[in-house]
């Protein structure tokens, strides 16, 4: 089955850019997602990219997809303290659009 | 429009007790999912449903049962709770598209 991996921690200074990386194994994954989870809360969909795209930009968020290497990244420009959270990468496959999640990257934004 | 709601928010069970978690969505979504989230791990799919009256097993279905008698509701049952089922449970729903919307979660402790 699908396996999705992320690094566990990332710290950045306020105002810098953050880059969170993710790798996946199933080349048939159709959509790839980034979710944000704040403490004690559910998951908030940030953005997603279809597998035939290389890049998607949405305000401060840029998603890059390298299909050959099965590598996905999320860049947050001008990172703010409110961006501190856990970020999950997820890959979609199967007829019921099942999601396989990575273990999450804890982003800490330092003042 | 409440989105996806989950009942209860918190619960403590003793080993061997049973309970049912309720997920409700008011977006007329066909697809619904139950996930569990454990510390240091991403979400893992327990069961899912692609429409009223249908259910299917996900990655970690053992010890759980589900029912989808009405389109808007998806119930997750634990017949005989075990400490290994201590977790945070999330429900999600989706349309024919690829955006899953998550509920706020149920924190379950089994002692």
Beta-carbon contacts of B23 under 8 Å, excluding residues fewer than 6 positions away, are B4, B5, B6, B32, B34, B73, B74, B75, B76, B91, B93, B103
pLDDT per residue as tens digits for the range A43-102: 999 999 988 888 999 999 999 999 999 999 999 999 999 999 999 999 988 777 889 999
Quote the minimal CA–CA distance from A70 to chain B in Å.
19
pLDDT at B93: 94
A92 and chain B in contact, CB less than 8 A: yes
Phi-psi region of B86 (alpha: psi -120 to 50; beta: other; left: phi over 0): beta
For the sheet with B19-25, list strands across it: B4-7, B19-25, B73-78, B65-67
User: Which of A8, A41, A96 is facing B31, going by the closest CB pair?
Assistant: A96
Q: Does A1 touch chain B (CB under 8 A)?
A: yes
Over the stretch B39-92, which tens digit does the pLDDT of each residue have?
878 899 999 999 999 999 999 999 999 999 999 999 999 999 999 999 999 999
Q: pLDDT of B25-41, one tens digit each?
A: 999 999 999 999 998 78
**8 Å CB contact of B98 and A4:** no
> Looking at the complex, does the CB of residue A96 fall below 8 Å from at least one CB of chain B?
yes
Asked if A5 is an interface residue toward chain B (Cβ–Cβ < 8 A), one would say no
Interface test with B, best of A53, A98, A102 (most B CBs within 10 A): A98
Query: Are A49 and A71 contacting, i.e. CB atoms less than 8 angstroms apart?
Result: no
Give yes or no for a contact between A33 and A44, defined as CB atoms under 8 angstroms apart: no
Between A31, A41, A48, which is nearest B104 by CB?
A: A41
pLDDT higher than 80, residue B106: yes
pLDDT digits (tens, 9 = 90+) for A29-44: 888 999 999 988 889 9
- pLDDT at residue B103 greater than cutoff 90: yes
pLDDT value at B24 more than 80: yes
Question: Is some CB atom of chain B closer than 8 A to the CB atom of A95?
Answer: yes
The pLDDT of residue B97 is above 80: no
User: Does pLDDT of B98 surpass 80?
Assistant: no
Tell me whether B50 touches chain A (CB under 8 Å).
Answer: yes
Of the candidates A35, A44, A92, which has its C-beta nearest B98's C-beta? A92
The residues that bridge with B31 in the sheet, in sequence order, are B94
């Amino acid at each position: 089955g699908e396996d999705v991996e992320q690094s566990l921690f990332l710290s950045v200074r306020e105002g810098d850019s953050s880059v969170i990386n993710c790798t996946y194994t199933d080349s048939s994954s159709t959509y790839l997602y980034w979710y944000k989870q704040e403490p004690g809360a559910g998951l908030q969909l940030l953005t997603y990219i279809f597998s035939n795209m290389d890049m998607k930009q949405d305000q401060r968020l840029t998603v890059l997809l390298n299909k050959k290497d099965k590598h996905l990244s999320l860049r947050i420009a001008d990172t703010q303290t409110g961006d501190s959270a856990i970020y999950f990468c997820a890959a979609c496959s199967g007829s019921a659009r099942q999601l396989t999640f990575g273990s999450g990257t804890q982003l800490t934004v330092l003042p | 429009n409440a989105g996806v709601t989950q009942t209860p928010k918190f619960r403590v069970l003793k080993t061997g007790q049973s309970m049912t978690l309720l997920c409700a969505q008011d977006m007329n979504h066909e697809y619904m999912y139950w996930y569990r989230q454990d510390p240091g791990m991403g979400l893992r799919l327990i069961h899912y449903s692609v429409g009223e009256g249908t259910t299917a097993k996900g990655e970690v279905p053992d010890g759980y049962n589900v029912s989808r008698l009405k389109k808007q509701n998806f119930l997750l049952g634990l017949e005989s709770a075990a400490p290994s089922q201590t977790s945070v449970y999330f429900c999600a729903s989706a349309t024919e598209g690829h955006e899953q919307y998550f509920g706020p979660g149920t924190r379950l402790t089994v002692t």
